[in-house]
């Protein structure tokens, strides 16, 4: 029996086990780096499977590893563990017991899948061809748990890495892949316009910071249409403006806060220059002073095409070509798996969890979000196939 057939056959024994683990995790959602219940569930399972692990990686992450026959090759899988500050409204028997918190982005499913892979491989470790590292990461939804984990050595010795995310826009039994840029980078923008306050009846004696800001915001959108290659992608959105004291006083100061999403690092840096010029020069033209600061967040997630090929081929053979969706558009949302892919070759793909017949259709970050749990074993099997295929690729290098 081929190794792939062996592991896939073994996987069927643990379908209910994986579902139950996901449900247990779902009941106890926690936020950011504060994940005591979640990490206790995970470490208890790892101990029961006799898998060595280290906790407290990247503050509250967990790093576990199974040794294989060829210990010169290590392939990593990553799952994020944190939840969201949302009140659940699914009426599930395993709904959140932590009021105000919910696994509305499917990280309970990601962790359940990773534990499922660990369970199957540990039960068949004598057949494992290489080392497999399991990365349980905190804080994907907030400040980004990937970088602290990388700093603490989670990628040391890793040759390739795979990650996945549930996707409620895809029917269960399908996966989605993307060559090249899959997710955008994010940069926070904050600019301030300082004018001169005066009575609203005599605006000529002051400098109106609100009028100046309005002109800046309108003009900034022309940067995208006239300074960015039409084949590239940039999104600039401002979500908060504050300034002024009263309806009859010309505002002296206005602060505007927003975000910029880009795919190319070069484009991001060029956009910063143009935004700085726009804020400072328009302010000067109106007699005001303009200041701008940038806060870079997650980088763009760029898949390695040779590993996208691996997922595609495994999806074609396991699920059928009709169930492998090749995305052509970049998701302008962010994902901190990007940091792993900057250090190690690998791929991030999406797993269909939608089921119209069961009315499982709610989007991510929604109070009614849920998954078709038959997707869990699909994710487990895909990741096992990815490990075996990546090993063959790396062995032949």
Query: Tell me, what's the pLDDT at 373?
Result: 98
The answer to whether residues 21 and 146 belong to one domain is: yes
Judge whether 315 and 382 are in contact, CB under 8 Å: yes
Last residue of a domain, one of 258, 275, 296: 296
Short-list 14, 9, 348, CA closest to 177: 348
Cα separation, 393 vs 306, in Å, equals 10
Q: Please give the distance of CA 80 from its chain centroid, rounded to a whole number.
A: 9
Percent above pLDDT 90 for the chain: 94
Using one digit for the tens of pLDDT, what is the confidence trace for 119-129?
A: 999 999 999 99
The answer to whether residues 173 and 194 belong to one domain is: no
Residue 298 annotated to the active site: yes
The answer to whether residues 313 and 229 belong to one domain is: no
Asked if the model's pLDDT at residue 229 lies above 90, the reply is no
The answer to whether residues 157 and 44 belong to one domain is: yes
Q: What is the mean pLDDT of residues 308-328?
A: 97
Domain count, the chain: 2
Cα separation, 30 vs 352, in Å, equals 24
Short-list 152, 161, 163, CA closest to 55: 152
Using one digit for the tens of pLDDT, what is the confidence trace for 143-196?
A: 889 999 999 999 999 999 999 999 999 999 999 999 999 999 999 999 999 999
Task: Give residue 396's pLDDT band: very low, low, confident or very high (50, 70, 90).
Answer: confident
pTM of the model: 0.93
Average of per-residue pLDDT values in the chain: 96
The answer to whether residues 31 and 123 belong to one domain is: yes
The answer to whether residues 165 and 77 belong to one domain is: yes
Q: What is the mean pLDDT of residues 252-275?
A: 96
Range of the domain at 287: 185-296
Last residue of a domain, one of 296, 312, 328: 296
CATH number at residue 351: 3.40.630.10
The answer to whether residues 25 and 106 belong to one domain is: yes
Query: Tell me, what's the pLDDT at 1?
Result: 67
The answer to whether residues 38 and 89 belong to one domain is: yes
The answer to whether residues 92 and 191 belong to one domain is: no
Active-site annotation holder among 14, 298, 339, 391:
298
Query: Tell me, what's the pLDDT at 340?
Result: 98
Percent above pLDDT 70 for the chain: 100
The answer to whether residues 347 and 246 belong to one domain is: no
Active-site annotation holder among 28, 65, 373, 391:
373
Give the pairing of strands 301-302 and 181-183.
antiparallel
And the tokens for 13? 């024994």
The answer to whether residues 245 and 348 belong to one domain is: no
Residue 373 annotated to the active site: yes
The answer to whether residues 258 and 200 belong to one domain is: yes
CATH number at residue 221: 3.30.70.360
Task: Give residue 252's pLDDT band: very low, low, confident or very high (50, 70, 90).
Answer: very high
And the tokens for 369? 């979000």
Last residue of a domain, one of 296, 326, 361: 296
């Amino acid at each position: 029996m081929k190794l792939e057939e062996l592991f896939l056959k073994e996987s069927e024994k643990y379908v209910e086990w994986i579902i139950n683990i996901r449900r247990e995790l779902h009941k106890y959602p926690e936020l950011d780096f504060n994940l005591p219940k979640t990490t206790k569930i995970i470490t208890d399972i790892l101990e029961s499977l006799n898998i060595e692990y280290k906790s407290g990686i990247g503050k509250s992450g967990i790093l576990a590893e199974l040794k294989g026959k060829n210990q010169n090759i290590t392939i990593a899988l990553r799952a994020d563990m944190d939840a969201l500050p949302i009140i659940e409204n699914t009426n599930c028997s395993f709904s959140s017991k932590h009021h105000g918190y919910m696994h509305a982005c499917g990280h309970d499913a990601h962790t359940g899948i990773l534990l499922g892979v660990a369970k199957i491989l540990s039960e068949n470790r004598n057949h494992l061809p290489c080392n497999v590292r399991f990365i349980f990461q905190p804080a994907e939804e907030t400040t980004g748990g990937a970088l602290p984990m990388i700093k603490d050595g989670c990628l040391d010795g890793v040759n390739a890495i795979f990650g996945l995310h549930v996707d409620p826009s895809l029917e269960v039994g399908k996966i989605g892949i993307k060559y090249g840029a899959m997710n955008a980078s994010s940069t926070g923008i904050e600019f301030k316009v300082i004018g001169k306050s005066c009575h609203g009846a005599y605006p000529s004696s002051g400098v109106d910071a609100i009028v100046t800001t309005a002109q800046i915001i309108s003009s900034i959108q022309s940067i995208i249409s006239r300074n960015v290659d039409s084949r590239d992608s940039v999104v600039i959105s401002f979500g908060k403006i504050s300034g002024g004291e009263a309806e009859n006083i010309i505002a002296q100061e206005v602060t505007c806060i927003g975000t910029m999403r880009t795919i190319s690092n070069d484009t991001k840096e060029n956009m910063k220059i143009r935004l700085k010029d726009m804020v400072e020069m328009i302010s000067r033209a109106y007699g005001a002073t303009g200041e701008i600061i940038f806060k870079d967040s997650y980088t763009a997630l760029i898949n390695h095409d040779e590993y996208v090929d691996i997922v595609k081929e495994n999806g074609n053979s396991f699920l059928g070509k009709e169930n492998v969706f090749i995305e052509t558009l970049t998701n302008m949302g962010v994902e901190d798996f990007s940091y792993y892919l900057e250090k190690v070759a690998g791929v991030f793909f999406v797993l269909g969890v939608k089921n119209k017949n069961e009315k499982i259709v709610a989007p991510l970050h929604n109070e009614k979000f849920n998954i078709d749990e038959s997707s869990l074993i699909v994710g487990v099997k895909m990741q096992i196939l990815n490990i075996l295929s990546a090993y063959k690729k790396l062995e032949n290098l």
